């Protein structure tokens, strides 16, 4: 899409980099940037590549296998088709312009760079940062897709209480959730579902097991659906049948911390300051040191999309960035609580897209 390409070259100009052309590849290492800048759909486009130019134009190069998908796509690009590796190389030689080629070094393999050098003899310039900031600010269409993905996810969270029963395993619950996400309209999962019971909830990136559900367990659920390639992200923590005072205290502390983070997510704020404010809030309680990860991350074509909210995130928040806010408290051998929402940055308060209740639920 031209407006995205133009914004990319504006960021490149701000960094005073002289770039004649940008290459985005779907070769040996699939690059999601290909879909961002092409808006191509209907195919995998493996082996394809995209060239972007400062005037906002773009050219898509693809194999005969993906030709029909490219032609049916709504992307604003010229299409060139190759049927052999030699034809692909010739097209690269003919259409890469100038002496300075921009690449996202974080999205290309060393092998692919070495192959590219056989064809292109100019300078390869890293524009990872510029691409990340371009993608970080979402346009109307992107926000609509993320909002729809979040609606599907929120609806599915609302159906979880009816899925729980004595002796249910984490894996069984994961299967039920994933089926329901699809039934509710998700085209895929944003990431592997996390269903953690009891003490397992103290592991932030836990992998669901055959552990069975028991009275008094934490039930930490982190799952989300994808819509039109765009992700959502959401976590809620329930309590099964009963909750003791320690569990309730942890939950209330995490909820207060999350509300603080949401309140501070606004244009002009520095990303790391938001994380540090929430981290300090938790550390000033009896749960000091139990918040052990970043406050949040960007959401878009990827679950962890470009920018994040961490102690080293030294950039300014801008309108229409989309983030998660997800503080947590984790106590080994006891359990943990995480509460996570997907939000769009607005001029006033951010818009929360994942709308299922955050009330403490004993179910």
Please give the backbone phi and psi of residue 239, each rounded to the nearest 5 degrees, phi first.
-130, 135
What single-letter DSSP state applies at residue 303?
Answer: S
Q: Give yes or no for a contact between 146 and 153, defined as CB atoms under 8 angstroms apart.
A: no
Structure confidence by residue, pLDDT tens digits, 273-289: 999 999 999 999 999 99
Structural tokens at position 38? 């092409």
Instruction: Give me the residue spans of the domains in the chain.
Output: 2-135, 140-352
Fold of 2-135: Creatine Amidinohydrolase; Chain A, domain 1 (3.40.350)
Over residues 248-264, the mean pLDDT reads 98
pLDDT at residue number 195: 98
- CA separation for the pair 292, 40 (Å, rounded): 38
Q: What is the pLDDT of residues 176-199, one digit of tens each?
A: 999 999 999 999 999 999 999 999
For residue 206, give the DSSP letter. P
Both tokens of 18, joined, read: 């002289």
Region 135-139: mean pLDDT is 97
pLDDT in tens, 113-123: 998 999 899 99
- pLDDT tens digits along 193-234: 999 999 999 999 999 999 999 999 999 999 999 999 999 999
Is the pLDDT at 29 greater than 70, yes or no? no
Mean pLDDT check: name the lowest of 1-15, 57-71, 329-343, 349-363. Answer: 1-15
CATH number of 140-352: 3.90.230.10
Q: How far apart are CA 268 and CA 345, in angstroms?
A: 11
φ, ψ of residue 77 in degrees (nearest 5): -150, 155
């Amino acid at each position: 899409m031209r407006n995205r390409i133009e914004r990319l070259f504006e960021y490149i100009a701000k960094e005073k980099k002289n770039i004649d052309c940008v290459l985005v590849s779907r070769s040996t290492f699939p690059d999601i940037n290909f879909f961002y800048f092409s808006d191509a759909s209907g195919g995998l486009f493996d082996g394809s590549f995209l060239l972007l130019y400062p005037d906002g134009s773009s050219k898509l190069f693809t194999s005969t296998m993906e030709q029909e998908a490219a032609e049916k796509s709504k992307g604003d690009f010229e299409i060139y088709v190759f049927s052999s590796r030699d034809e692909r190389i010739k097209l690269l030689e003919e259409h890469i312009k100038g002496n300075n080629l921009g690449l996202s070094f974080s999205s290309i393999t060393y092998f692919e760079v070495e192959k590219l050098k056989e064809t292109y003899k100019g300078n390869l310039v890293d524009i990872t940062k510029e691409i990340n900031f371009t993608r970080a600010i979402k346009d109307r269409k992107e926000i609509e897709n993320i909002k729809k993905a979040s609606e599907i996810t929120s609806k599915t969270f609302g159906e979880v209480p009816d899925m729980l029963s004595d002796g249910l395993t984490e894996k069984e619950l994961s299967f039920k959730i994933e089926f329901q996400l699809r039934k509710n309209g998700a085209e895929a999962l944003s990431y592997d579902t996390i269903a953690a019971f009891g003490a397992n909830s103290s592991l932030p990136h836990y992998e669901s097991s055959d552990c069975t559900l028991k009275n008094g367990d934490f039930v930490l659920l982190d799952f989300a659906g994808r819509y039109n390639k765009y992700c959502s992200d959401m976590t809620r923590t329930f309590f099964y049948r009963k909750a003791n005072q320690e569990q309730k205290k942890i939950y209330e502390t995490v909820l207060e911390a999350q509300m603080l983070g949401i309140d501070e997510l606004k244009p002009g704020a520095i990303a790391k300051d938001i994380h540090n404010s929430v981290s300090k809030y938790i550390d000033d309680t009896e749960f000091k040191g139990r918040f052990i990860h970043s406050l949040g991350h960007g959401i878009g074509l990827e679950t962890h999309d470009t920018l994040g909210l961490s102690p080293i995130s030294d950039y300014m928040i801008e309108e229409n960035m989309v983030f998660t806010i997800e503080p947590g408290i984790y106590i080994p051998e006891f359990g943990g609580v995480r509460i996570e929402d997907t939000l769009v940055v607005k001029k006033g308060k951010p818009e929360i897209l994942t709308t299922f209740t955050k009330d403490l639920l004993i179910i």
